[in-house]
Structure 1
Amino acid sequence: MRVAIAGAGSVGRSIANELLQNGHEVLLIDRDPRAVRADTVPEAEWLLADACEMSSLDEASLNRCNVVVAATGDDKANLVISLIAKTEYAVPRTVARVNNPKNEWMFDEAWGVDVAVSTPRLMTALVEEAVSVGDIVRIMTFQQSGSDLVELTLPADSPIVGTRVGDVPWPADTALVAILRGGRPIPPSPDDPLEGGDELLFVAVSEAAPALEDLLAPGVSGRA
């Protein structure tokens, strides 16, 4: 897979190193000469250019990329890069960094963003996940489908503790994708019984969150 990363700061370089270790081709683009530090990611291709300009993206052969990651520290630039990549170069997948949570609402399909990654939101979700039992924690949103990746830690007194996964009346448009138990992920099967303390990961539409909470943890946090 060929990936272009716009923004060669610490975030962009970290993403590049991870992708290279996983066997992918990576092109790092940045308009600031001080950010072009090829010695820090020597296996990547580097391009000194403004990723918001069509001529730069032509030079980068963006049409050959499978994924474009807009990882600059400027939300406006990340939106423009995503939109151009999607509409002008037909890049199959775009991932955009959200620097200011107030701008998150703009990072959607209208701006060519397939996946928006908000570092402040992710950190908040991780904090909430660590301390919340019985409440839905939204980890991220998949813009194309309008679905969320959410987590809920099952209380010990949940009415579905001991129930098999296949016997639970899950809300519509909700998929249980993993059970985290004892420090390891478990792919759920219909015969797996649920246990108190299980961390349940779902992909679900936003509207399903209240029904999930009522099903799994009724009465938590003042809910009826």
Structure 2
Amino acid sequence: MPESAEEVRARLRARIAAIEAGNGVPDGPEVDRCYGGASSQEGERPTRVGVVSRSASSVRVKGNVRGSAECDALDEGDASCSVDVAEEAERAFRKIERLAAMREQASTLLRTRLVREGFSADAVEQALVRALACGLVDDVRYAEVLVRSRVSQGCGAQGIAAELDGLGIDIACVPGWPDEFPVEHDDEVARALALLERKPPRAKNRRDAAYRRLAQKGFGASVASTAARLWSESLEE
């Protein structure tokens, strides 16, 4: 029987608690980045898959918004800034946890959603660094799921790659790509033809309409042109 959402969240929390207690080692980045250790604040952060960069945007302090420079200017004894951001980051992390329990998540989409829901940029970045380090969020894992889903829907390789690129993910990171996917020219032409058979375009100029539909589905110009020609010729015959 599949796990319920509550059971999945409970299992995730138990795993995270075990990591914090030193009883488990997560896959991926070092553990202390997950829990606010020194490496979560320092070091290079590539802009591609699986890593988030810290923003210099504003942080919330006692209900107001202050810039990072103003926060740095606070007296050393006033720790309200870091405390408030830490509390907000914890709430953001719990939100990520709930979303990840339902389906794979992309870090870019999570960042946009959390900021839209009112979390400060600093809190979101802290929560994402922690989620990525724990393996709760994994852009490579998300990319693999998306690629397999899009291929099964009949989408073309060019469009799939463009969709991932829009999320800051290189399709080359997907395990088995492209060897284990039907993305060779002949395979793509066959999938394009199957798509046209399932959903034939309704237009006077069928060949042009077929080409446009395939282009919209992410097939490259060569594949779309070949498939549109073969499909229109089969109708004439």
TM-score (norm 2): 0.27
Which structure is richer in relative contact order (CA contacts within 8 A, separation 6 or more)? 2
Which protein is richer in helix relative to its size? 2
TM-score (norm 1): 0.28
Q: Which has the larger radius of gyration?
A: 2
